[in-house]
């Protein structure tokens, strides 16, 4: 992102010497040889905004011009931060002007400017920023590819002549990819985060190419089984990696950046929906586009490095990495609680996500183009707001209260969506996405934080499998109960009961990790020298 200077010009009813003294005293400005006053950027802020003050005598006072410079330089997503950086610049200049006015009036300094929602709450190093942006790009790629089956369920079922029950079983079978993901995610504790992420990016593109040319539902489903495992691997490992790499006080924020990238990938799958209306085989075009993402793999590999925390741990001889027995022996309670959260929330989110388009098509009479409009309106902006606000609240108020409240509201709203129509349906969908974004960030961050680095991937692989099993069970139950309950909407809504139970009874039992270091929340376990006792 270019470092474009921005300026503000004000006229103060005070002499140049008085304004100069105020700037030196209150802002800590440093005089330069050319007469400019420079205010260095606070070390804890990002972007690092430097202010340059120029004083010129004017009629009945002094003319003050403040120029600000500084930006966030990261690959792939610099465009997203540009408007947020502009807001931060305006606030920094306005705060400097108000500080000088307070000095001239003999008042205390104003409060520091608020952090812009969407910008880091604490400073990131350049290496951390690049890593998180690259991991986010990888997540966006595989999320786009993995979302296509769910978004294109109706045209795919029509193309292959599949019934609701058959397509529900096919969607459930793709969850078998969790078996691949179980090992691939766990291997990240042994072989590093970078390798697992790159395997997911390349493998996802290859599988999409196979899906695009699949001759029947069996071949297509087989490819999607592997696709599910690849997205699970990349998404899970990348999420853990950004939490590991983020500075204390910004772990939920880093997780929110990854979630936004995943949302971008999902949204792009929605944008491609109208392609399915062009011709009977139009659903294959989005899969071909996803296959073309393989050309982005070299850029991902070039910018992606191993996390500093994992690199330091791998150099130690007194720590065993990736032992499943340590998860059960040392972290059983956390695993049970988070496992219940993963299974019961997925019991609802699985069919809710996969059957939403089919519900809109079969029950509400939407076309694929109309679904694209609906999902764009009710998903894009609410999702972004939910993720950003949720991350900020999770850092300031704690993970547990944000997760519990947001999950309860999101579940109730989504249940109402599947039982209603008209404007209520639109409003409930938007509210559900908003709250799911906030709750998902808080819960996802807890998944990463509550286990130490040496078993972070192994434990989360187990949680991922439990989530997949919950989603598969939800898909089968919702599909099977659809006829008995009078429609897919009622059967999906019924699956939400488990998610409500989690929000009210399970989440409050989890440890709180906000405002604590990772080493404090989940310290590394020193072994007794038997690090090779267990097989990989």
- Digit-coded pLDDT (tens) for 435-486: 999 999 999 999 999 999 999 999 999 998 899 889 889 988 998 888 788 8
CATH topology of domain 6-105: Alpha-D-Glucose-1,6-Bisphosphate; Chain A, domain 4 (3.30.530)
pLDDT per residue over 156-165, tens digit each? 888 888 877 7
Strand 6-12: give its sheet, edge to edge.
6-12, 61-69, 50-58, 37-39, 30-31
Q: Work out the pLDDT band at 528, boundaries 50, 70, 90.
A: low
C-alpha distances in Å from residue 68, one per residue of 3, 80, 85, 87, 280: 10, 20, 11, 12, 55
Mean pLDDT of 287-306: 93
In the chain, how long is the greatest CA-to-CA distance?
A: 83
Q: Is it the case that residue 533 has pLDDT exceeding 60? A: no
What's the burial of 152, exposed, middle or buried (CB within 10 Å: 0-12/13-18/19+)?
Answer: buried
Q: Is it the case that residue 532 has pLDDT exceeding 70? A: no
Mean pLDDT of 404-433: 95
Q: State percent of the chain over pLDDT 90.
A: 54
Mean pLDDT of 339-348: 96
Q: Is it the case that residue 4 has pLDDT exceeding 60? A: no
Q: What confidence score (pLDDT) does residue 5 get?
A: 61
Q: Is it the case that residue 535 has pLDDT exceeding 70? A: no
Domain range list for the chain: 6-105, 126-310+320-521
Q: Work out the pLDDT band at 529, boundaries 50, 70, 90.
A: very low
Q: What confidence score (pLDDT) does residue 2 get?
A: 41
Q: Is it the case that residue 495 has pLDDT exceeding 90? A: yes
Mean pLDDT of 112-121: 83
CA-nearest of 127, 89, 128, 63 to 3 is 89
On the question of a cis peptide bond just before residue 47, with omega within 30 degrees of 0, the verdict is yes
Q: Work out the pLDDT band at 22, boundaries 50, 70, 90.
A: very high
CB-CB contact of 130 with 75 (8 Å): yes
pLDDT per residue over 247-263, tens digit each? 888 899 999 989 888 88
Pairing outcome for strands 37-39 and 30-31: antiparallel
Q: Which residue has the higher pLDDT, 293 or 182?
A: 293
CB-CB contact of 170 with 110 (8 Å): no
pLDDT per residue over 83-115, tens digit each? 888 999 999 999 999 999 999 999 999 998 888
State the CATH architecture for 126-310+320-521.
Up-down Bundle (1.20)
User: What's the rounded Cα separation, in Å, for the pair 382 and 134?
Assistant: 24
Q: Work out the pLDDT band at 536, boundaries 50, 70, 90.
A: very low
User: What's the rounded Cα separation, in Å, for the pair 80 and 6?
Assistant: 19
Q: Work out the pLDDT band at 353, boundaries 50, 70, 90.
A: confident
Q: Work out the pLDDT band at 531, boundaries 50, 70, 90.
A: very low
Q: What confidence score (pLDDT) does residue 45 get?
A: 72
CB-CB contact of 246 with 253 (8 Å): yes
Q: Is it the case that residue 35 has pLDDT exceeding 90? A: no
CB-CB contact of 337 with 509 (8 Å): yes
Mean pLDDT of 170-185: 81
User: What's the rounded Cα separation, in Å, for the pair 451 and 21?
Assistant: 53
Q: What confidence score (pLDDT) does residue 158 get?
A: 83
User: What's the rounded Cα separation, in Å, for the pair 63 and 7?
Assistant: 13
What are the b/e assignments for 345-381, b being 16+ CB within 10 Å? bbbbbbbbbbbbbbbbbbeeebebebbbebbeebbbe
């Amino acid at each position: 992102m270019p470092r474009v200077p921005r300026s503000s010009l004000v006229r103060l009813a005070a002499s140049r010497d008085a304004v100069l003294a105020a700037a030196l005293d209150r802002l800590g400005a440093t005089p330069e040889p050319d007469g400019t006053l420079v205010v260095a950027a606070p070390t804890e802020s990002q972007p690092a905004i430097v202010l340059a003050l120029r004083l010129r005598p004017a009629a009945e006072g002094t003319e003050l011009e403040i120029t600000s410079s500084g930006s966030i330089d990261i690959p792939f997503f610099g465009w997203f931060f540009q408007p947020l950086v502009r807001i931060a610049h305006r606030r920094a200049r306005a705060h400097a002007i108000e500080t000088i006015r307070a000095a001239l009036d003999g008042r205390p300094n104003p409060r520091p400017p608020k952090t812009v929602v969407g910008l880091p709450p604490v400073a990131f190093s350049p290496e951390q920023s690049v890593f998180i942006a690259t991991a986010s790009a990888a997540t966006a790629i595989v999320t786009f590819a993995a979302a296509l089956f769910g978004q294109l369920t109706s045209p795919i079922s029509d193309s292959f002549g599949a019934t609701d029950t058959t397509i529900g079983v096919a969607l459930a079978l793709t969850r078998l990819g969790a078996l691949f993901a179980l090992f691939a995610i766990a291997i990240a504790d042994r072989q590093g985060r970078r390798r697992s992420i790159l395997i997911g990016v390349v493998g996802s593109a290859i599988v999409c190419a196979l899906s695009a040319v699949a001759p029947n539902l069996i071949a297509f489903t087989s490819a999607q089984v592997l696709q599910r495992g690849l997205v699970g691997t990349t998404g899970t490992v990348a999420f853990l990696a950004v939490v590991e790499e983020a500075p204390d006080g910004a772990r939920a924020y880093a997780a929110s950046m990854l979630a936004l990238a995943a949302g971008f990938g999902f949204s792009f799958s929605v944008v491609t929906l109208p392609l399915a209306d062009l011709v009977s085989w139009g659903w294959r075009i989005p899969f071909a586009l996803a296959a073309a993402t393989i050309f982005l793999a070299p850029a991902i590999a070039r910018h992606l490095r191993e996390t500093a925390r994992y690199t330091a741990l791998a150099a130690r001889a007194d720590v065993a990495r990736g032992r499943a027995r340590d998860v059960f022996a040392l972290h059983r309670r956390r695993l049970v609680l988070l496992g219940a959260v993963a299974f019961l929330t997925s019991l609802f989110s699985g069919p809710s996500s996969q059957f939403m388009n089919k519900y809109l098509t079969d029950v509400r009479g939407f076309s694929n183009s109309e679904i694209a409009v609906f999902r764009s309106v009710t998903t894009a902006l609410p999702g972004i707001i939910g993720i950003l606000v949720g991350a900020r609240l999770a850092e300031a108020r704690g993970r547990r209260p944000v997760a519990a409240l947001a999950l309860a509201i999101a579940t109730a709203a989504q249940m109402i969506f599947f039982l209603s129509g008209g404007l209520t349906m639109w409003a409930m969908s938007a509210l559900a996405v908003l709250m799911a974004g906030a709750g998902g960030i808080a819960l996802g961050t807890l998944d990463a934080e509550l286990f130490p680095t040496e078993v972070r991937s192994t434990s989360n692989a187990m949680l991922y499998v439990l989530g997949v099993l919950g989603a598969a069970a939800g898909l089968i139950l919702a599909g099977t109960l659809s006829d008995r309950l009078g429609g897919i909407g009622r059967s999906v809504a019924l699956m939400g009961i488990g998610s409500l139970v989690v929000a009210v009874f399970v989440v409050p039992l989890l440890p709180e990790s906000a405002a604590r270091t990772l080493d404090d929340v989940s310290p590394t376990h020193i072994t007794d020298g038997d690090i090779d006792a267990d097989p990989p």
